[in-house]
Amino acid sequence: MASRKPVFNQQVLYDTTPLPDSIPKVKELGTTSAPLMSAAYFIGARCKDYNDDFMQCKTQNPGKGEFECLKEGRRVTRCARSVINDINTHCLDQFRAHWECLDNNNHQLWQCRQKEWSLNKCVFEKLGLEKTVPGQPKDEVPVQFRRNQTFAHAGIPITQFPYLTPNQRAEQVENLRLRNPKKADRIDQWDEERRQKKAAEAAVEAKA
Amino acid sequence: MPVPFETLIPYGIIIAMFGVSGAGMSKIRNWQNGGKRQRRGIDQWDRVLMDRDRRLTGDLRGQANNPVAPAGYELNNPWRLEKRIS
């Protein structure tokens, strides 16, 4: 973001004139920076179209974006508000744990991976929203699933594994196959074994 | 002949001085930031967001996850004015 123009302000003016009635009233989002950072990828998953609309409107109206793009902006606010509402109703504990961890760690996502994985699990199961980080190279483990974050304050225990939605798991297995073409059948066999083991455990749990 | 303990007293004093001032600074920073670690490497984006947090909660490091902003939020972003030069 460009730095602001230097301004020597000696006083401030609070303009309390409300907007004209012709503009529909939409209440602004009350989420501060840490919860917003935490929920950002889920807002992106649900509101991608509205956000892209708004960004396109702003790009096409340089200088007048604040006036011309009010409608798109209202849509963005409403969509983000719906995501925050849903996360609050279904996943409040994990959400709060994650953003409190972020706030304590300079808002760096890579310091709070464990809590992020449990939040991802809850949000996917209850709301069906996935977090996707675009631009991850296929020849490495994506950053959000790495269990070894070099500079993090706290390491991740051996027993904790990242949560992968079924789509993400399929994608990672495909990447493994691309990285090791010679071991492709071994990877298939391992994936099949894992799936069967999970199914057996689920059957045992269902019986018990 | 083993080292007499009196010779290690100055080292102990030095370590204690560094330790006390370091711990004291850390505690002061913790108290200033509302029980959290200080934010470092803040750029203009982070400053703008922290100002928004202050407008929403009253505290620069305050956080809230309400979907709707409190009542006065839409009107409490001030215009910053300069005095006229000419």
pLDDT of A185: 79
* Cα A52 to Cα A94: distance, rounded to the nearest angstrom: 28
Q: How does pLDDT run across A13-36, given as a tens digit for each residue?
A: 999 998 899 999 999 999 999 999
Question: Is 80 exceeded by the pLDDT of residue A4?
Answer: no
CA A168 from centroid of its chain's CA atoms: 14
Contact A104 B57 (CB under 8 A): no
How confident is the model at residue A182, as a pLDDT?
A: 81
Question: Are A29 and B75 within 8 A, CB to CB?
Answer: no
Query: What is the pTM (predicted TM-score) of this model?
Result: 0.84
Q: In angstroms, rounded to a whole number, what is the distance separating the alpha carbons of residues A95 and A43?
A: 13
Query: Which residues fall within 8 angstroms of residue A179, CB to CB, at 6 or more apart?
Result: A138, A139
Residue B85 sits at the chain A interface (C-beta within 8 Å):
no
The helix or strand, by DSSP H or E, that contains position A206, with its residue range, turns out to be helix A184-207
Residue B13 is predicted with a pLDDT of: 97
Interface predicted TM-score (ipTM) of this complex, two decimals: 0.83
Q: For A51-73, what is each residue's pLDDT tens digit?
A: 999 999 999 999 898 899 999 99
Q: Nearest CA of chain B to the CA of A200: how many Å?
A: 40
% residues pLDDT > 70 (chain B): 100
